[in-house]
Amino acid sequence: MTAPEYPSATILPSTSTTSTTTTTTNININNTTPTYTPPLLTATPSKGHIHLIIGCNALASARCTRSLEVGALPTVIFPEALDSEEVHLGLKKRIEDGEVGFVNRGFEVTDLKTLGREEVEYFVDAVFVTAGFGGVDASMISKTCARLRIPVNVVDSTSLSTFTLLSTYSDGPLQIGITTSGMGCKLASRLRRTVASALPVGIGGACERLGGLRRRVIDEDLKKSSPLPLPSSFNSTSENEVVVERRPIEEEEEDDSTDQKSTFNALIQPDDLESQKSRRIRWLSQICEYWPLQKLVDLTEEDINNFFDEYSTSTSTPPTSSTQETETEKPKGTISLIGSGPGNPSLLTKASLDALLSADLILADKLVPSQILSLVPRRSTLFIARKFPGNAEAAQLELLEKGLEAIQRGQKVVRLKQGDPYIYGRGAEEYQWFEKMGVKIEVLPGITSALSAPLYAAIPPTHRAVADQILICTGTGRKGVPPDPPVYVKSQTTVFLMACHRLASLVDGLVKTKGWPEEVPCAVIERASCEDQRVVRSTLKNIVAAIEEVGSRPPGLFVVGWACEVLKKVDGAWSVEEGL
């Protein structure tokens, strides 16, 4: 595998007691949350480093993938035979393809000092213990690594780890890492996706182009004896010799979390020679600080070349606008049950959007995407269902009662659901409940993900001579009981909603009890139509291993059938496609 152009691994040390940076934090005495010293975040270039990975499970395979992405050379070590069922499929393939080193025995302490690079006297650069506590002495490995100053990461044990990997987004030279310091890794993944989806496409290229311009400006200014005419009072020791102190012009600034310097917007006087020396680099810094990100992304190489010779002090502030809220006559209480579609706001029907924008109270399911919720007017009240595991029925009743109370107060209520209200959305149940309460409910259709998600994943549910039927199923029945899976029909495309959380048992049932061939193509489509959409393509044989390695990104659905490979075929065990 080819290493990326900008290889680096983001490492989070477990302590920061050696840090010389002093940070002052204002503590609210009314806040009972315990305070702690945060760890120091660093980015470590890892090209050519040796990463020793102990274990043969899905996590070991994922660690190999990450090491390869940052240009490291992973070596896995485990005693199990390569053809053993305990060895993860993805890891086995990488070993057979020669992408990772392989030591087929148990871990030995001498491995830490013999499997590394020659330039560091054969010490390994980092150790990942993924085998848990059953097969290896993780405590011994951790203590030995600490004594040898080798970074070590032990699965599910922050106390034995000297570093952890962040939830990272990469685009060329740009890397964004998020950590909750072990307090909530799932939240870190969501925050990372939220940040990444807010960035314009191509921002990594903009970083590269502006970084190149910055280096050119610095080099040019340092090469010159003076960027501006010397003052008349300047005296030289020789007619042909000018001695100038060549000092760095902010060229060593790092991508840390500190704010801009206090001199960032300082006025530069025409006769201030020292300030004039750095005016171009300061101007470039202000461009990076103030220009819209999309404008920076749109800069071409020609623009960059022009910037090298031009200087402008003009700045502009985009106009701000505000909407004036006007009070309207209080309408008679009503409720609309609407479908929000798969997630992209542009897929809302006009009727649903009109209802959403005019509502006093919006009762939303917890998985309605934030892009849809962002359309809710500030004057409206948004309540999101508190459907955590074990509380689904109580949360559903709470939602209905809140809606009824608002209707009785004369408010306009919108019950916002994903997809279409009547496709596994319990819409009919809510219709019956309000009807029993004497309330007439308006139902507005939405685009169901069962049909739109395959489209966004380049899967035609029907295709001549391939699929002439579509079956929509649920993977979760009443009170969480899994329904009986359907039998195999070769000409049928089957879409499973609410099934990704139990994918392994579902696939097992399809293959072992319903006669589905293992080679049938399939796909897991997550966050369909959203900017962070992901499609994992595979077969029934490999899809579970694929999801174990890449993880989940709900909400998602599972599509099975030969139509899955009409437009796109998988070259290998599986493929992963990110974004729209």
- Give residue-wise pLDDT tens across range 69-103: 999 999 999 999 998 989 999 999 999 999 999 99
What's the pTM value of the predicted model, to 2 decimals? Answer: 0.62
With a pLDDT cut of 90, the percent of the chain lying above it is 54
Phi-psi region of 531 (alpha: psi -120 to 50; beta: other; left: phi over 0): alpha
Q: Is residue 382 included in any domain, yes or no?
A: yes
Going by pLDDT thresholds of 50, 70 and 90, the confidence category of residue 440 is very high
Widest distance between CA atoms in the chain: 101
Last residue of a domain, one of 447, 473, 492: 447
Q: Is residue 177 included in any domain, yes or no?
A: no
Strands 334-339 and 167-171: unpaired
Average the pLDDT over 100-110 and give the result: 95
- pLDDT tops 70 at residue 133: no
- pLDDT tops 60 at residue 322: no
Q: How far apart are CA 524 and CA 536, in angstroms?
A: 5
Residue 326 confidence (pLDDT): 36
Please report, for the domain that includes residue 559, its CATH number: 3.30.950.10
Residue 283 confidence (pLDDT): 65
- pLDDT tops 50 at residue 354: yes
Residue 115 confidence (pLDDT): 97
| Strands laid side by side in the 556-560 sheet | 469-474, 492-497, 556-560, 521-526, 534-539, 575-578
Q: How far apart are CA 231 and CA 271, in angstroms?
A: 9
Cα distances (Å, whole numbers) of residue 53 to 57, 76, 185, 252, 445:
11, 5, 21, 35, 51
Tell me: do 145 and 42 sit in the same domain: yes
Tell me: do 279 and 355 sit in the same domain: no
Print the domain residue range for 158: 9-15+36-165
Number of domains forming the structure of the chain: 4
Can you give the C-alpha Rg of the chain in angstroms?
A: 29
Residues 387, 395 contacting (CB under 8 angstroms) = yes
Residue 245 confidence (pLDDT): 43
- pLDDT tops 60 at residue 215: yes
Residue 274 confidence (pLDDT): 53
Q: What DSSP designation does 563 have?
A: G
Residue 413 confidence (pLDDT): 97
Going by pLDDT thresholds of 50, 70 and 90, the confidence category of residue 168 is confident
Tell me: do 428 and 460 sit in the same domain: no
